Structure 1
């Protein structure tokens, strides 16, 4: 353990990751810390991660960020889930919503009662019993009392970084302009001592946060922490992104449209739409991907297509010595379930919970890394599920995904649900039981049996139980305003494109 107090924090890199770290640390511990963020206006950020999940709502509440101001500043719209088109098979669609479906019994989840209802022709679609899913289908949204609607956001990532910069500087964060040319380490310990800028200035610190993106200047290039490649499970290694003008009302969900060698995203903001294609370069060239994307967008294209290369995987350790990697420097899981910004937030909260105020302790580092690995592997499995459990046989890419060997942890979850209808959540996992159920049902896995507790209900009682839930969902959604109208009333952006 180092005995030096940790007071000087140096954040290397800006963008979403850097400024989220700055906001979290300064709002929580700012009075006790000297926080500097180094970034260069000449270095761009990936900046296409525009879809989020409900954990960002919690993150903002912890920092006391005003939601209306945030959404107006980032051209934000609301998000109730993700629509998956052509994933199970061409022409078949489903939505993974953020809501809970039905009502669970303490011995068994709602899916068991629904499964019995389907066998007896008493139940509708699984999604009929979820407010968020039905609201998404009808393009409706409103804040409901007592947290009755789970939601996230679609945002402009570049504007989000600017918003957080202003927020962080209000709590004392100092931004330093400059390119990092060298990272200096102590000869005896190997700990990072300072970063040197192109101006010749040296920025010393006690704790360094690596937010330098895929370059990983500190954790990778300086401390040489190995990177674990997950390409054998997640074959997509490229993305191309463009922005288009809006041609219709913004829907309250992200669209994920499976294509011949990957998938296309469509994310509606207030004044434009974010579009992109994630693909595997072994089956589709960059030029083919660009043409496929441009052929499948709506509205006038506002930007040149931009290709981004990546390697799915993770650092074996994301906290090494006195360096913590956050964001793309720590690893990358493709944005299929919009988890990138969530993982940044989780790293920040984890660091705050284990903050080494009195000195850097190896046991803290070990626990931090253990939790990070467990979370990333859970999310990895959830993403692999979408690719592997499919009926598609129309292209070499989908045949390879359908027949690939998957992690044993994922195979167990699939087998358990297929055989028994059961889903068990481990501690601190991001995706709850209902997320796994929605995706596994959507991808075509139908359990062979249901829990016998459902047989304690006769047909009449089961029918009333299901009908009451569906009626509540329908009546709630009926009263909701249209999403577009609600956004314009609640958080209309103060800037336009």
Structure 2
């Protein structure tokens, strides 16, 4: 279905729902559409999900687009830096690998890893890991932040760990200070005509009318799904995890600069370091384990004897269209993939940028629907690849997760080409040029998981030993010379105004 904006100029916009997604949208529009009248309707009866407390580098760029410094928002959100993710025990042998954020600083050293990863999949017995060749991985290993003491020739890519509720509160204050209106009330009914929302009726009986609406109502999808009846496309037959538990633990000292994603019997658990506490969680399949059993497993694995547990149900999938009539769905109302790669805020931020272009009449709704569909499907494929490449067979969950992932034809084609030993770079360029995951990400995952056909024997060229040693020495020396430890000194630095973001 082709969807167009009304021909008249959009002068007013209402965001249904607060939370991180709703307030990110309000803050961005307040900054980049200052003449637009923006109202946020936030129900006081609906608690924030807050399941994800990690981000990709997109959040770094998003906050920069608001014109704010890290010292403006990071202390208020108990935030710390994130250089990447440790994946532990995903093959069931207590091994693991680090998936770093790739930056231009890695251009030459990463090539050494690519050579060795290609040699391995073609029959070499030499085993190497991505963490040896990326600057972010060296920083994570040394528990250092990606904040250089001296200017670097290229910018570093990094994400953050943060308290999601505090981030929403900070964005709310930022938005209200710039003229965004805030109504704390529950919407009791929606007046609409065909594919157009006309007004929202609040519990007081008051009606809120706008030219355009953003649905940030979470899994409820009040406007996009329940009112305009856009179909929801479920991924439950491919991604089996539909539940999660979150428990707060003590702060880790010294503070790590990486997330941990640790495989469990029926899913995986996260460990996210904040300035004041550590976030622990377990993402699992309710078809394979009960909520009570999952909580017991998490408490035992993370040594969490006390503290309340927050149980969550996840609606995994996406709307067939995120733009319908005069409604744009963002956040959980638009799509959700389990937070294995911390992509939720990346999708939300990108969606908001597209919304800005839609309101400015720079892009049509049909193109936006296609772009966001491609983005979510690309993320789904990459997340599925973690299960498809796992060697674990110790529980029924891991057996079922692998089968479900390999039933996705497009992913199976990608993995087959990797195992066959052919020119994987050329294949990626031809078939995944629009994927959100670029060459380094695929090499880190497939090489890190040691995914290969052990019978494959092809000519290969392994990087000379002196080249490997030089690459590793370069990264270590760069780290020692330019970076500071991520300890109490970092928090003091963030609280000062002595440096810019």
* TM > 0.5: yes
User: Residue 499 of structure 2 aligns with which residue?
Assistant: none
Q: Distance in 1 between matches of 2:300 and 2:272?
A: 17
Q: Distance in 1 between matches of 2:54 and 2:465?
A: 38
User: Residue 467 of structure 1 aligns with which residue?
Assistant: 469
The answer to whether the aligner puts 1:92 opposite 2:92 as a matched pair is no
On the 8 A contact 1:218/1:323 being kept in 2, the answer is yes
Q: Distance in 1 between matches of 2:375 and 2:165?
A: 26
User: Residue 168 of structure 2 aligns with which residue?
Assistant: 161
Query: Unpaired runs of 5+ in structure 1?
Result: none
SS at match of 2:222: coil
Q: Distance in 2 between matches of 1:122 and 1:286?
A: 42
On the 8 A contact 1:264/1:278 being kept in 2, the answer is yes
- Report deviation, 1:191: 0.4
Give 1:289-304 correspondences, 5 Å limit. Answer: 289-298=294-303, 301-302=306-307, 304=308
Deviates more, 1:5-14 or 1:474-483: 474-483
Give 1:201-216 correspondences, 5 Å limit. Answer: 201-216=206-221
The answer to whether the aligner puts 1:429 opposite 2:430 as a matched pair is no
Q: Distance in 1 between matches of 2:27 and 2:154?
A: 25
Q: Distance in 2 between matches of 1:142 and 1:250?
A: 13
Q: Distance in 2 between matches of 1:451 and 1:110?
A: 17
Change (3 A) 1:213 1:162: same
Q: Distance in 2 between matches of 1:142 and 1:102?
A: 14
Q: Distance in 1 between matches of 2:234 and 2:450?
A: 29
SS at match of 2:424: coil
Identify the match of residue 175 of structure 1 among 179, 182, 192: 182
Give TM-score, length-normalised by structure 2: 0.89
User: Residue 309 of structure 2 aligns with which residue?
Assistant: 305
Deviates more, 1:142-151 or 1:283-292: 142-151
Query: Unpaired runs of 5+ in structure 2?
Result: 497-501
Aligned length, in residue pairs: 478
1:196-221: CA deviation from partner (whole Å, max 9, x where unpaired): 11011111011100000011111111
Structure 1 segments (4+ residues) deviating >6 Å: 116-123, 449-452
Deviates more, 1:112-121 or 1:411-420: 112-121
Deviates more, 1:256-265 or 1:59-68: 59-68
SS at match of 1:22: helix
User: Residue 135 of structure 1 aligns with which residue?
Assistant: 139
1:447-487: CA deviation from partner (whole Å, max 9, x where unpaired): 757897x68xxx7xx44433332221111123332222453
On the 8 A contact 1:112/1:450 being kept in 2, the answer is no
What is the root-mean-square deviation of aligned Cα atoms in Å?
2.6
1:47-104: CA deviation from partner (whole Å, max 9, x where unpaired): 1210001111111111212111111110000101111111122311111111259546
Identify the match of residue 116 of structure 2 among 114, 119, 133: 114
Give TM-score, length-normalised by structure 1: 0.90
Give 1:184-263 correspondences, 5 Å limit. Answer: 184-186=191-193, 189-263=194-268
User: Residue 69 of structure 1 aligns with which residue?
Assistant: 72
On the 8 A contact 1:116/1:450 being kept in 2, the answer is no
On the 8 A contact 2:14/2:40 being kept in 1, the answer is yes
- Report deviation, 1:169: 1.4
Change (3 A) 1:428 1:170: farther
Q: Distance in 1 between matches of 2:239 and 2:451?
A: 21
User: Residue 491 of structure 2 aligns with which residue?
Assistant: 488
Q: Distance in 2 between matches of 1:37 and 1:403?
A: 43
The answer to whether the aligner puts 1:284 opposite 2:289 as a matched pair is yes
- Report deviation, 1:170: 2.0
